[in-house]
Amino acid sequence: MIMDFEVVSPKNKSELLNVINDNLDGNFRISAGFTDLYNQLKKSGSEGVTIINLTQLNEPELKSIHIGDSEIRIGTLVTAADIVDHAFIKVNFPVLHMAASKLASLQIRNVATIGGNICNVSPSGDMTAAMITLQAVCHVIDSEGNERSEPLISFIRGLKKTSLEKNEIIQYVTIPKNIHSKIYSGYEKVGARKSMEIAIVSLGYHFQLNDEGIIQEAGISCGAVAPVIPFATDACSFLIGKKLDELSDADKNTFADLVVAYANPISDIRASAWYRTEVLKNLACAILP
Amino acid sequence: MKKELKVIGKSAPKLDADIRVSGKAVYGHDIELPGMLHGSILRTAHPCAEILSIDTSEAEALPGVICIITADDVDVNNISYKRDHPILKKGTVNCNRDEIAAVAAITKDIAKKALKLIKVDYRIKEGVYNPLEALKSDAPKINEFGKGEEQFGNKNIAESFHYEHGDLEAEKAKSKVIIKRTYQLPRVTHACMATSNITADFNKLDGRLTLWSSTQVPFLYQRDIAHALKMEPSKIRIIQPVIGGGFGSKLDMHPFEPICCLLAMKAGKPVQILYSREEEFILSPTRQPMIIELTTGADENGKFTFREVEIIKDNGAYTSWGATTPFVMMQTFSSLYQAPACKFDSHAIYTNNPFAGSFRGYGNPQATFALETNIDLMAEELGMDQDKIRLINANYKGEITGQGLHFKTCGAIPALEKVIEKSNFQVSAIPHDKGRFRKGIGLASMLHVGGGAKIYRSDGCGTTLKLDDYGYLTIVTGSNEIGQGSETVLAMIAMEELGISREKIKVINTDTDVKPWDVGVHASRTSFVAGNSLLGAIKLLKEKLNKKATELLGVVTDDWDYADGKMTFNEFEISLDKVSREIHFGFPHELCTVTYFYEPPSKFQDKEFKGDVSGNYAFAAQAIEVEVDTVTGNVTVLNTHVSQDVGRVLNPMGLQGQMEGGMATGIGYALTEEMIYEKGELKNPSFHGYKILTTMDMPPVHFYPIETYDEAGPYGSKGAGEAPLIPTAAAIANAVANALGVRFYSLPITAEKVLRALAEKKKEVSQNESLKTN
């Protein structure tokens, strides 16, 4: 394949916004890790494309993880490896830690960014699924410098579609800090191999419990079973107020059925719709103690 | 008997390890010749169609296009094992790989663009993609050059084999248990890291053709290219750049290779063709998909009585070497474990699928999967332990099998005993877990040729040695290196025998104009055949050196010791380079060079496929532990115990590499790898869709070599390259059955298959329960 494109590498945010403004009439693509874009260009061709390369951007806000009073802020250029290595995330948000650590391979985790994972809008995006579980909010800026924010679940508008305008980029995402004493959180990813895999089905869960072990807050996401990753609201509502350790088999079944109701899977070369549904149901039962 | 050795048996990194890991290795993709053009091939848009017209005019007008060829422009012979494969197709196309036209252009991009400008009109036909359909009398004749009607009584049979020994009916009568099962084996591919490539340069002045090619069999390839192009073989020079993976895929010559030559001849400039990864998946050969119907019996004591085998192989549209895999499969059915009677029939059937080829193991993984599953089932029905039934039937030293294979040494029982002991098989095989994760263990053995295989008029290898004035040794060997590590073994043998250090040894093995003949890399033969050839050459070299040293030092002996670059005998000592110089500069002025050709003692099999076809035989057993996730259906291989009769370990590090590489391929075959074809089109031509395993998926490979010191091999060694993957799928399938109580008769055992089987089982159980309550 011949790669035939222009590359612009802004050094700071104002340069970046200017570059976007200057190219609004043209065909440009923004990238930092290039792990998804490379494949897309291979398919679509790169003639006439301008690449806005973010790897030389020196903006701490966009590149760092910041722990605030009520939320944590993850810059759009934070890599999967940064997330895996982050101690606070590992302890407080296992769902995100596990999703990042199961993404592709070590080499790819070292360059793949959270902003890229979200904007690629894949139904099987691992970090995206974890962020949906955690009810993350996207913070966006346009080339004029106007800022807005939107919950991730509505930011994603459909298969390969977001609410981003051509002149907008994500600056960072925020997730609310846990407010209860205990958490029960994790990410199940199903695939044929342990690395270099795209989820056939995934299930992200993040529950907050009070001291008595009663579920106070719940987040559930299901990857690769629908055109967009759903947040399983009904399944979450069902669990709230219940004691996690004392769920009956009937409760677990009801919960699993509520999760599966959000699935509308397809059959493809990797798995049939039957398998995806069956595994999702099995997983939903299996994650509960 | 075992002789004390200094170099052999001690781990040595591969000779080319440094250039491979540092990026200095020159692969075919790195070759750039002055004025070189880039070739690209137009393939059919439909797997089965009539070609009504081909119009290349627009493509020819594209600036940068140098020449375009179609079937009408060339005078060539059909290629392939059955000569049923036209290099460029006209009239009809029969599978998704079919080549219609080829372009040479000044850049790759222009060549690809030109392909899009070639207009082909097709009349699409409904193809035949199931070999059982192709056998029906109303099926169309798929390959117009096929001789099935005359030779085998059906127009779509490409090749058939029949073998038998013993009194089948008498053995059936003796049987307490008879198991009959049908097995389905998938199409899988080699997934070489380097994609297929060739660079061709034709000199119009002398009519000579030079090819930079990654073939495994340069001298057979030279002959095949010559036949295809109607040239004299000796006018063709084959140079092998570093090869990034062979595994059997480069045994056949494929159409893109003579096509590249034709483009170079027409353009008058060098031409290079490189496959993309997608092309590599679609176009390179595959392992044979097949249906095996196997019936086996055992008497009341568990002694095996007979095997009856019917195999239908999907040959695809053309006939490659892969059609001859029954040679190997019949050895397994006739001779793996003691088998008093065997009847074997195999038919390769033309379909509109792509043609299969040769792949490490050559039919043996398929045969072993079927046989070893049947053995487990017989043990279950007899109430015998799975290890016991194998031990009492195992092959033994001195055995001459029904097929005439003579096991002068045999590590079958020690290998089984070793993996049974190391895996704690008896305890591990007790099913216990009722939770989400279920553990199981499975056992399988294998038999494979270990001393070459006489399938061509010669199974030999030549070696030329040159000891220069400075004491450096050049080994020019007929054999070649495709990553298996044989050139390292050759250097080790020379170090051992001549006492020359590794830095002073060069191995030249890449040029057919220079090196002596060898049949090529296949059948786990290279270290065996090339090693014996080198030992023969060293013997001749030593005769020269001994004679001169005796003359120079005035001492009469043939008992010179070679070490540290010197020859010594008692108090007498002289450096090797000095002796070499004296041969050169002293009277009567000779060079210190010798040439030797080794032909193994193996025999051609007779018309009934009986005879001792190999110099020796390799035996192996594997015990594999798995864990099945009943929530997802995924099977994880936890641990592997591999024991193999390698005769003698030459390079432990290289051997461990063969074990691990074979295991990786074997696990993929068992669990994840499958080329998904729908109506002749490949649906998963990428590493995303086709799941070869990664290093993260690899279990520990505990390897226990068995040394039987077979006198036919160098230092007692046997071929070892193919064996490590042969019993793997069988052992894993047996382990999964042990874990779940459910058997799988087709590969790969995917998560979806497992979950469906568990769902079926659950349904059966609940139905039975409701029947009981009613």
DSSP letter for A58, please: -
Chain B residues interacting with chain A (CB cutoff of 8 angstroms): 107-109, 276, 436, 630-634, 671-672, 676, 683-684, 687-689, 691, 693-697, 750-752, 755-756, 759
**Looking at per-residue confidence, does B455 or A65 come out higher?**
A65
Q: Which two tokens stand for residue B364?
A: 């043996």
Chain A residues interacting with chain B (CB cutoff of 8 angstroms): 1-2, 105, 190, 192-196, 198, 200, 269-272, 274-275, 278-279, 282-283, 285-286
Backbone phi and psi for residue A224, each to the nearest 5 degrees, phi listed first: 65, 20
Task: Could you list the beta-strand ranges (E) of A64-166.
Answer: 65-67, 71-75, 137-142, 147-151, 156-158, 161-162
Q: What is the mean pLDDT of chain A?
A: 96
Global confidence as pTM:
0.96
Q: Distance (Å) from the C-alpha of residue B37 to the closest C-alpha of chain A? A: 16
Q: Using an 8 Å Cβ cutoff, are B598 and B536 in contact?
A: yes
B153's CB contacts (< 8 A; 6+ apart) are none
Instruction: Classify burial at A7, counting beta carbons within 10 Å of its beta carbon; exposed 0-12, middle 13-18, buried 19 or more.
Output: exposed
| The pLDDT value given to residue B350 | 98
Question: How far apart are alpha carbons B99 and B499 in whole angstroms?
Answer: 53
| The pLDDT value given to residue B770 | 77
Question: How far apart are alpha carbons B364 and B446 in whole angstroms?
Answer: 8
**For the segment A135-189, what is each residue's pLDDT rounded down to a tens digit?**
999 999 999 999 999 999 999 999 999 999 999 999 999 999 999 989 999 999 9
Chain-centroid distance of CA A136 in Å reads 9
Helices (H), A4-85: 13-22, 37-44, 60-63, 80-85
The predicted model gives A42-51 an average pLDDT of 88
Candidates B276, B672, B752; nearest CB to A271: B752
Q: Distance (Å) from the C-alpha of residue B122 to the closest C-alpha of chain A? A: 26
Helices (H), B44-101: 57-61
Q: Do A270 and B751 touch (CB under 8 A)?
A: no
Closest CA to A49 of A6, A85, A111, A9: A6
Q: What is the interface size between A and B, counted as CB pairs within 8 Å?
A: 62
Q: Distance (Å) from the C-alpha of residue A190 to the closest C-alpha of chain B? A: 7
| The pLDDT value given to residue A2 | 62
**Would you call the peptide bond into B601 cis, given omega within 30 degrees of 0 as the criterion?**
no
B114's CB contacts (< 8 A; 6+ apart) are B40, B59, B60, B62, B65, B68, B103, B105
Q: Do B632 and A283 touch (CB under 8 A)?
A: yes
The predicted model gives A266-279 an average pLDDT of 96
The structure tokens 């029982």 sit at B413
Element (H, E) at A182: strand A182-190
In the predicted structure, residue A1 carries a pLDDT above the cut 60: no
Taking chain B (774 residues) in runs of 10, the rounded mean pLDDT of each run is 82 95 96 98 98 98 98 98 97 97 97 97 98 97 97 97 98 98 98 97 97 96 98 98 95 97 98 97 96 98 98 97 95 98 98 96 98 98 98 98 97 98 94 87 97 88 98 97 94 98 97 96 93 98 96 92 96 97 96 97 89 94 97 98 98 97 97 97 96 95 98 96 97 97 97 96 82 65
Question: How far apart are alpha carbons B124 and B246 in whole angstroms?
Answer: 35
Candidates B672, B676, B697; nearest CB to A269: B676
Closest CA to B662 of B406, B365, B302: B365
Sign of the CA dihedral running B519, B524, B529, B535:
positive
| The pLDDT value given to residue B454 | 83
In the predicted structure, residue A18 carries a pLDDT above the cut 50: yes
Question: How far apart are alpha carbons B362 and B347 in whole angstroms?
Answer: 16
Instruction: Classify burial at B678, counting beta carbons within 10 Å of its beta carbon; exposed 0-12, middle 13-18, buried 19 or more.
Output: exposed
Distances (CA, A) of B450 to B287, B403, B461, B534, B714: 21, 16, 16, 18, 12
Q: Do B633 and A195 touch (CB under 8 A)?
A: no
Question: How far apart are alpha carbons B255 and B112 in whole angstroms?
Answer: 18
B711's CB contacts (< 8 A; 6+ apart) are B408
Closest CA to B271 of B27, B28, B25: B28
